[in-house]
Amino acid sequence: MAMMHSNTSQVDPKAFTGRTVLFWLMGFFAVIFAANAVFIWLALGSFPGVVVESSYQAGQDYNQEIANARAQAERNWQVKADLSRSQGGSGFLKVHARDSTGAPLTGLSFMARLQNPTHDGDDVEVVLRESESGLYTGGAAGLSAGNWNVVIEANGADERLFRSESRIFLKE
């Protein structure tokens, strides 16, 4: 009588083994970690998250900023700014400054910062000169189209008298 001998050592090539599951899990998490690394790199490259250089110093200056804002509100100055941009990317900033009675403010030192909200390297400083009574003007080069934060400050002899921050959109 001939005996049939079955070969039990054959393994199904499509069967999931512990090793296969391990490789699939490692591959899955490797893809997730790689995608996260790319997203983190892109996020830090486009916006570093730094709003102020020193949070400690900003906290120390907080009460002085509140006092400055109250004093500015009591002065009730009317300050209007107009920024125009030419085709070449150069801009021209005009600031009209009047006191609470409507009289022109003269003899002040006005300064403007045009801040690009996404790229720190694109910020532009504009020194404004008094071209006529109550009108301060200055030019800026390298202004691209898009959103800009405009920060205007007026200083007296030894203190900041006015500060304004607004957002504008420059068209192409």
Per-residue tens of pLDDT for the chain, all 172 residues: 555 555 566 767 778 889 999 999 999 999 999 999 999 988 877 766 666 778 899 889 999 999 999 999 999 999 999 988 887 778 889 999 999 999 999 989 999 999 888 777 788 899 899 999 999 999 988 788 888 899 999 998 888 899 999 998 888 7
Q: What are the boundaries of each domain within the chain?
A: 18-47, 76-170
- C-alpha radius of gyration, the chain, whole number: 31
Is residue 88 within 8 Å of 145, Cβ to Cβ? no
Which candidate, 42, 46, 41, places its Cα nearest to that of 116? 46
Q: What is the pLDDT of residues 28-38, one digit of tens each?
A: 999 999 999 99
Task: Give pLDDT, residue 6.
Answer: 57
Q: What is the pLDDT of residues 38-69, one digit of tens each?
A: 999 888 777 666 667 788 998 899 999 999 99
Q: Kindly report the CATH class assigned to 76-170.
A: mainly beta
Side-chain half-sphere CA neighbours of 120 within 13 A: 10
For residues 148 and 164, what is the distance between their CA atoms, to the nearest angstrom? Answer: 14
